[in-house]
Amino acid sequence: MKSQNEMVLAHLEHYGEINPRRALSRYGIMRLGARIYDLRAVLGKDCIRTQKVTKKNRFGRNTTFANYILKCH
């Protein structure tokens, strides 16, 4: 079985980006930020970029979340 870090890295390599909702629904990962922190320690801090995204939630309120984008590998 792959570790959470391995699953996130494989997803980034295949799709180029990941966000917390996708990480939870596909892999059961609740702390995506922690996995990104681990991967940056291995790959280099500049290899994964954080993009802040603001969208409306189901209650019509604005919410901001991180979208992580693989820049190198």
The tens digit of pLDDT for each residue in 44-57 reads 999 999 999 999 99
- Sequence ranges of the domains in the chain: 4-70
Yes or no: domain 4-70 corresponds to CATH 1.10.10: yes
Could you tell me the two tokens for 13? Answer: 């390599």
pTM for the model stands at 0.91
CB-CB neighbours of 68 under 10 Å = 25
> In which band, very low, low, confident or very high, does the pLDDT at 73 lie, cut at 50, 70 and 90?
low
What b/e sequence results for 23-61 when a residue is b if at least 16 CB atoms lie within 10 Å of its CB, and e otherwise? beeebebeebeebbeebeeebeeeebeeeeeeeeeeeee
Q: Is 66:50 a contact under the CB 8 Å cutoff?
A: yes
The tens digit of pLDDT for each residue in 27-45 reads 999 999 999 999 999 999 9
